[in-house]
Amino acid sequence: MSKYDKMLEVNHKQSVEKIQRAKLTIQEMIEEEDKVTVPKLIQKTGLSRGFFYKNPEVRKAVDHALQVQAGMVDKRRKILDMAMDNRILQLEQQVAKLKRENETLRKENEAMRKALNKRDLNLIKNF
């Protein structure tokens, strides 16, 4: 076996190992319900960004994982959504309270205007 053939064999072996490492990491992320993204895969595997996009086998595994997780909601997002819903509810209650207060003040203002107009009319009659 020539050096060239050995080199090809070693490169092929390394390539197969990288593919297996990438697929295994993707599978683990799916099982842990961790959202599969290329940046997270780069961080966990140490492989390059191009590897995940250019290698057809790995690209297929990434695409499959994204389809599987399409309906999955990120846990942090769910918590943030709940917090935002609570805040929206608080603000809506505050708006309703302020509208009631505003209406009360409008009625009070109208009553005072009528009283002021009556007083002005009484002053005019006295002259």
Supply the range of the domain harboring residue 15.
3-68
**Same domain? 14 vs 62:** yes
Helix (H) or strand (E) run with residue 71 in it: none
Q: Do 61 and 96 belong to one domain?
A: no
Mark whether 30 and 84 lie in a shared domain: no
In angstroms, the Cα distances linking 107 to 63, 101, 114, 119, 120 are 63, 10, 11, 18, 20
pTM: 0.55
User: Residue 87 in contact with residue 57, Cβ under 8 Å?
Assistant: no
Q: How many domains does the chain have?
A: 2
Task: List, for residues 39-88, the tens digit of each pLDDT value.
Answer: 999 999 999 999 989 999 999 999 998 888 876 656 677 788 889 999 99
Domain end, chosen from 17, 35, 68, is at: 68
